[in-house]
Chains A and B, each alone.
Chain A
Amino acid sequence: MTTTGQVPGAEGFTPPGPGDFNLPPVFGDSVLFAKPALLLVVSAVAVFGFFFVTSRRTALVPSKAQYVGEQGYGFIRNSVARDVIGSQHFLKFVPWLVATFFFILLNNLFGIIPLIQFPTFSRSSFAYGLAVLVWLLYNGIGIWKHGLLGYLRHVTMPAGITGPILVLIIPLEFFSTVLVRPVTLALRLFANMFAGHLLLILFTLGGEYLLLNSDKVLYNSVGVLTLILAVAISFLELLVQLIQAYVFTLLTAIYIQGALAEDH
């Protein structure tokens, strides 16, 4: 008996890879408008519709819909915006943060909603676009607050540091705040969604292959186990999707707060 190092019984199985994320176009043959772009539009409309409906007829005694909308809004307003940005300036940024959170959350949830099952931000370009918006926002706020030179000084020279060490600190701080921040912000969201979706495809396809295309009873039963695990991983993904939407919003708030902060 020779072993080839491959998984036994996996001769005909092609494991999923990054290529599985290139979906065919939805309308016509434009590669720009594939399933993720459609989902992005759907989610924008859905989030707008949700908050429009829940806040249209507000009453002192809220209806169920109004209650749900206000809970979601209040969560971001109080535990993210007010706690991080501070009670003086936070109100201006609440709409942005609420919209960001629910937009990302819905796009992530698309990854496990049956029949949709594709997290939009597992295509990196969407995550980069979002990060560019956040980058423009916090740098814009900083320049508006401190002026261009003042903001650069605020960003690159942390308070209390003087002397020759500044030669080292200034490029490092500029690098980390201006250049690396948007990249890690986008990559964090993208990589989590990408890895999670890849894991789900792997478990589902692998389970299906073991269950249906294998002639050994042992492999068939392992296939059933794999499919059960795929369901369990879906729940793990739900947690990850919530956390990533929360972290993205939290970091946006922290960056805004950092740009607004006064030097001491």
Chain B
Amino acid sequence: MDGTVNGSLNMIGYGLAAIGPGIGIGLIFAAYINGVARQPEARGTLQTIAFLGFALAEALAIIGIGLAFVLN
């Protein structure tokens, strides 16, 4: 059985690179849910902070997908 796989290694690299931000975003929202569960009245403040953290962690994944398409 001789197998050939066509495709770009970039995408495998991007898949690996997305693990980090994935874990990070999970932790951010876990902390947000914890915070709201403990102190429901702080929801508004926590929401802003959670989405800020989410956006910053997500930036890493986005730089990854940008480079995965750009680098050849």
Binding site for B on A (CB under 8 A): 2-6, 18, 79-80, 83-84, 184, 187-188, 191-192, 195, 243, 246-247, 250-251, 254
Query: Sorted from nearest, which 7 A-B pairs have the closest CB atoms?
Result: A5-B5, A191-B62, A184-B59, A247-B55, A5-B3, A187-B62, A5-B4
- In the assembled complex, the Cα of A237 lies from the Cα of B62 at a distance in Å of 16
B1 at the interface (CB under 8 A from A): yes
Is B6 in contact with A5, judged by CB distance below 8 angstroms?
yes
- In the assembled complex, the Cα of A83 lies from the Cα of B3 at a distance in Å of 58
Among B44, B52, B58, the residue within 8 A (CB) of A254 is B52
Q: A3-B3, A4-B4, A5-B5 are in contact. List 8 more A-B contacts (CB 8 A).
A: A4-B3, A5-B6, A18-B69, A83-B48, A84-B48, A188-B55, A188-B59, A247-B54
A16 vs chain B, min Cβ distance (A): 13
Main secondary structure of the interface of A (DSSP, over half): helix
1/0 per residue, CB under 8 A from A, across B56-72: the answer is 00110011011001000
- Chain A residue numbers with a CB within 8 Å of B55 are 188, 247, 250-251
- Chain B residue numbers with a CB within 8 Å of A83 are 44-45, 48
- Chain B residue numbers with a CB within 8 Å of A187 are 59, 62-63, 66
